[in-house]
Structure 1
Amino acid sequence: MKKYVNLLNAILGAILLIAVKYISPVCTGKVLLQSGKEMPMRCHYTSTAVILIAIILIALSIELYIRKAHLPITFIVLGLILFIIPLDTPFSIGVCMKPMECHSTALWIKIISGILILSGISTFFLKDENSKIV
């Protein structure tokens, strides 16, 4: 049963990747600096970080599915990181201050990270004789 949690996590990573890139992409606007140069808004960097974490999540989940192993703490931590990234805090990247397209992207990220945290917690309670903790 635990190996299916790894498969679920790989699917969550793929949904996150598709959601951030195609379903609900972030703003494409730029911020004008005092020097006259333009720079992408914060949501662009949030999107980049989430895409990289989603790729790591997919690769890790597939490897653990093949090896019939599980790392519940790793998935809980990845879920917490994904949840924190779009928040507007001093230790996260955040999204735009004004209500823009990136706020729907942040909602996708938060929902998927919540499911990822729950799947990590669930592996503590599921019993599987063929599975091993790495």
Structure 2
Amino acid sequence: MNKDIHKILMYCLGGLALVILGAIHVWAPVCDGFLELSDGRYVPMRCLYTAKAVSVLAILVLIQAVTSLATNKKNPILIVALGIMLIALTYESVIGIGVCNKVMACHDTAFWVRGGGLLAIIIGIIIALKKSAETTNKHTI
């Protein structure tokens, strides 16, 4: 039964990674505008760099799900950490890149990424609780 739950959670995690990638590249893409610098050059908005970083993290989440299915190893700390990084990247902070200040298309993308990060954290916590319950049951028998 626990292996079935683990498989279901990993399939959900893989699907979650695909949804995040789909949101970034298909149905809620980031802004495609450029900023003009004072010297006349144009640079992409920072949400483009956030999308690139989130794409890498979503691919890592997908790799983690596939690896966990193939090896049956549970890495809840890694899943929670990836979820936290997904959320943090959408905010302008020390570890985040952020999205545009105005209400632009990238805020829709950030909504999808933050929701995906939250679900990844929840999946990681469920796996950790199942793992600790299995360890407790082994010690009591």
Relative to the length of structure 2, the TM-score reads: 0.86
Partner Cα separation in structure 1 for residue 95 and residue 7 of structure 2: 33
Partner Cα separation in structure 2 for residue 50 and residue 102 of structure 1: 12
Q: Check if 1:5 corresponds to 2:9.
A: yes
Aligned pair count?
A: 129
2:137 corresponds to which residue? none
Three-state SS of the structure 1 residue aligned to 2:43 is strand
Letter of the structure 1 residue corresponding to residue 43 of structure 2: M
Task: Work out which structure has the larger RCO, using CA pairs closer than 8 Å and 6 or more positions apart in sequence.
Answer: 1
Shift of 1:30: 0.1
Partner Cα separation in structure 1 for residue 81 and residue 112 of structure 2: 18
Shift of 1:70: 1.1
Spell out, residue by residue over 1:45-100, the C-alpha distance to the aligned partner (whole angstroms, 9 max, x if none). 00000011111111121011111111000000000000000112243100000000
Partner Cα separation in structure 2 for residue 91 and residue 74 of structure 1: 17
2:25 corresponds to which residue? 21
Cα contact 1:6–1:70 (8 A) shared by 2: no
* Structure 2: unaligned runs, 5 residues or longer: 135-141
2:139 corresponds to which residue? none
Shift of 1:3: 2.5
Relative to the length of structure 1, the TM-score reads: 0.91
Partner Cα separation in structure 2 for residue 118 and residue 85 of structure 1: 18
Q: Percent identity?
A: 32
Q: Check if 1:62 corresponds to 2:92.
A: no
1:91 corresponds to which residue? 95
CA separation of 1:98/1:7 partners in 2, compared to 1, >3 Å: closer, same or farther?
same
Letter of the structure 2 residue corresponding to residue 14 of structure 1: L
| Higher normalized helix content (fraction of residues) | 2
